[in-house]
């Protein structure tokens, strides 16, 4: 499973400064390069623009500004020396000051988020990327261990319980304990659908309501919403779905084994292993 970059926790909010009229960091970068090189051609190369594209940006900026920002002396097929006017210099310095204030604002905003534990938990969950179809979050309420394996009980936000089986070494590696916040990953083919509850060998059986069914001619994707608002997706054959008479609005049960659950510690996703 990929682990986000360690810097993410300090950069939850990002943003680019853009002034009215399309004056953004790219335009300011072009002005800076012109000021340093005295050449539109060279400046365009430095900021990754074509000569024509650079001129179009300059012309638009000049037209929008109350005073001309750039002057060009004639000379050669692509123009002679180019320099910023006093108005162009003033705009450049203004943008630099605003950019400093903008970055200071972002740092303060990210610090405020870092100081809010509830917001931190919400944002941490957003950065987890995985190929598993189903991603649920919960808190460990019990851990039963044997010589080599462990059964971890996780409570979802609505009180539902899920049991995950994993190696004892994995529990130690992830530093799991009672009260640890975890993510539960379950692939859709691992989930079975039943319509009548009965004792089963599978450890996990979650009751919910079917909210969507999608057929592709061979398989069917069943989406079940749990009482807590979480959703689970199961993929079963279309024949099975039709035989069960599944339809939106029906009560159904998502059934899966404890070894179908991949468990990860949220602290590892965000901070990386020690």
Q: Exposed, middle or buried: residue 248 (CB in 10 Å: 0-12, 13-18, 19+)?
A: exposed
CA gap 134, 118 in Å, rounded: 22
Yes or no: say if 151 and 163 are a contact pair by the CB < 8 Å rule: yes
Query: What does each C-alpha distance from 79 to 62, 163, 270 come to in angstroms?
Result: 17, 72, 52
DSSP state of 197: -
Over residues 68-124, the pLDDT tens digits come to 888 876 554 444 578 888 888 888 888 888 888 888 887 877 777 666 666 555 555
State the fold for domain 134-271. Answer: OB fold (Dihydrolipoamide Acetyltransferase, E2P) (2.40.50)
- Comparing CA positions, the residue from 192, 234, 191, 189 lying closest to residue 211 is 234
Over residues 50-67, the pLDDT tens digits come to 888 888 888 777 777 778
The domains of the chain are located at: 6-114, 134-271
For the structural domain made of 6-114, what CATH number should be given?
Answer: 1.10.10.10
- At 144 the pLDDT is 93
CA gap 162, 255 in Å, rounded: 11
Yes or no: say if 190 and 263 are a contact pair by the CB < 8 Å rule: no
Which of the residues in the chain have pLDDT under 50? 1-9, 76-79, 126-127, 268-274
């Amino acid at each position: 499973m990929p682990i986000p970059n360690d810097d993410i926790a300090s950069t939850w909010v990002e943003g680019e400064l853009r002034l009215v009229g399309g004056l953004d960091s790219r335009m300011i970068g072009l002005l800076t390069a012109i000021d340093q090189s005295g050449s539109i051609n060279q400046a365009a190369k430095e900021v990754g623009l074509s000569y024509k594209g650079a001129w179009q940006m300059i012309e638009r900026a000049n037209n929008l500004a109350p005073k001309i920002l750039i002057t060009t002396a004639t000379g050669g097929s692509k123009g002679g020396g180019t320099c910023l006017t006093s108005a162009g210099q003033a705009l450049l310095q203004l943008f630099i000051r605003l950019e400093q204030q903008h970055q200071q604002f972002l740092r303060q905003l990210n610090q405020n988020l870092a100081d809010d534990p509830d917001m931190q938990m919400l944002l941490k969950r957003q950065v987890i990327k995985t190929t598993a179809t189903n991603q649920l979050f919960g808190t460990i309420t019990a851990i039963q261990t044997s010589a080599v394996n462990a059964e971890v009980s996780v409570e979802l936000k609505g009180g539902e319980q899920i049991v995950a089986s994993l190696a004892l070494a994995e529990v130690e590696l992830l530093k799991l304990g009672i009260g640890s916040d975890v993510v539960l990953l379950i692939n859709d083919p691992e989930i079975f659908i039943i319509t009548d509850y009965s004792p089963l060998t599978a450890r996990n059986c979650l009751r919910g309501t079917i909210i969507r069914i999608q057929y592709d001619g061979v398989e069917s994707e069943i989406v079940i919403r749990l009482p807590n608002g979480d959703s689970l997706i199961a993929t079963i054959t279309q024949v099975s779905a039709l035989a069960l008479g599944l339809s939106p609005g029906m009560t159904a049960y998502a059934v899966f084994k404890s070894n179908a659950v991949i468990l990860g510690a949220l602290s590892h996703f965000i901070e990386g292993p020690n």
